A and B are shown apart, each in its own frame.
Chain A
Amino acid sequence: MDKIRALIVDDSSVMRKIVERSLRQAGIDLDKAVEASNGAEALLALQSNVVDLILCDINMPIMDGLEFVRQIATVESAKGVPIVMITTEGSESHVVQALSAGARGYIRKPFTPDQVKEHVLPLLGKKS
């Protein structure tokens, strides 16, 4: 598989770095990691960046992750791009809401690089 461009959306810069590192540790050949600190910034980032994968928190100020996933359906360049939620919100209701809105995966914090590998690689057409 070619190098991957990922959009990482989390209000914590530390968590964005951890997610990026976990992707690399999962064996994903990361070309570029675009960062955004909330859903609104992420929508803006998608206007000037084409990405292959989106990893997104839920609890964020300004625009939360669920709203971002709902709104991204209208972004032409992001159609078909797999979205994986990475969040502390572990309730079944949140999982259902995220998947219904269009997310393809759900990882609960705290997480290990192996969990990232297990959830993300199949979405990129790789075996975990």
Chain B
Amino acid sequence: MSTDTAFAKRSREEDWLPILELATREVFEIMLACKVKPVAQSEGKPNAGFTAMVGLAGALCGVMTVCCDAKTAGLIAKGMLGEIAESEEQVGDALGELCNMIAGNFKNKLAGTDERCMLSVPTVVSGGEYRFHSLADGNSMETIVLFEDAPVAVRLQLKD
């Protein structure tokens, strides 16, 4: 499915980072009862223990990723479940859902995307020994928030 050129143009002309930050903040606040705010990139990028990905297709084409270290992913899962995750798979599942909700919340805040933007089911990679090559080589934005004092990176890469 090709990108809607109007949205590709908008993504270059408008600053969508505050929308991504708000979408991220709301999901952390509602699902984890945790107020997070963006921190400077210099505060450090997370070690990629877990990376959750959700694809966007239609009016917006690209990929949303949420990346954090394994310990933080475990704490996120615990926060969502209300108890310690039973397995690494459940930790990944929780991070995938977090990514899914941020992606959904982001697109719902963008006027006009409506049903013309669809989300994929989440994919989660565990471990850091990989290189990420997205074909979505257009506009990209990233916000890093601290959860339990550890960085969590939320990145959106869009295709032109």
B6 at the interface (CB under 8 A from A): no
**B104 touching A88 by the CB < 8 A rule?**
yes
Report the stretch among A6-14, A26-34, A69-77 that lies at the interface. A6-14
* Interface residue from A21, A60, A109 paired with B101 (Cβ < 8 Å): A109
User: What is the CA–CA distance of A92 and B113 in the complex, to the nearest angstrom?
Assistant: 11
- Assess whether B40 is interfacial by the CB under 8 Å rule: no
Q: By the criterion CB–CB under 8 Å, are B30 and A94 in contact? A: no
| Docked complex: A76-126 residues within 8 A CB-CB of B | 87-94, 108-112
Task: Report chain A residues within 8 Å CB of B126.
Answer: none
- Cβ B97 vs Cβ A15 within 8 A: yes
A88 and B81 contact, Cβ closer than 8 Å, known pairs A12-B93, A110-B27: no
How many of chain B's residues touch chain A, expressed as a range?
20 to 34
Instruction: Identify the closest chain A residue to B27 (Cβ).
Output: A110
A2 CB, min distance to chain B CBs, angstroms: 26
Rounded to whole angstroms, the CA-CA distance of A93 and B58 in the bound complex is: 14
Q: Are A93 and B114 in contact (CB under 8 A)?
A: yes
B51, CB-defined interface residue at 8 Å: no
Query: A94 vs B107: C-alpha distance in the bound complex, in angstroms?
Result: 14
Chain A residues within an 8 Å CB radius of B31 = 18, 110
Expressed in whole angstroms, the Cα–Cα distance for A14 and B92 within the complex equals 10
Q: Across the interface, which residues of B come within 8 angstroms of A18, CB to CB?
A: 31, 80-81
Residues on B with C-beta less than 8 A from A59 are: 100, 119-121
For residue B85, which residues in chain A have a CB less than 8 angstroms away from its CB? 14
Q: With contacts A17-B81, A88-B108, A108-B108 known, what are 18 further pairs, Cβ within 8 A?
A: A11-B121, A12-B93, A13-B90, A14-B81, A18-B81, A59-B120, A87-B104, A88-B104, A88-B105, A88-B119, A89-B104, A90-B107, A91-B113, A92-B114, A93-B114, A109-B101, A110-B27, A111-B30
Q: Which residues of B contact A (CB under 8 A)?
A: 26-27, 30-31, 77, 80-82, 85, 90, 93-94, 96-97, 100-101, 103-105, 107-108, 113-115, 119-122
Q: List 30 A-B contacts (CB under 8 A).
A: A12-B122, A13-B90, A14-B85, A14-B93, A14-B94, A14-B97, A15-B97, A18-B80, A18-B81, A21-B82, A59-B100, A59-B121, A60-B121, A88-B100, A88-B104, A88-B105, A89-B104, A90-B107, A91-B113, A91-B114, A91-B115, A92-B114, A93-B114, A93-B115, A108-B108, A109-B104, A110-B30, A110-B105, A111-B30, A112-B30
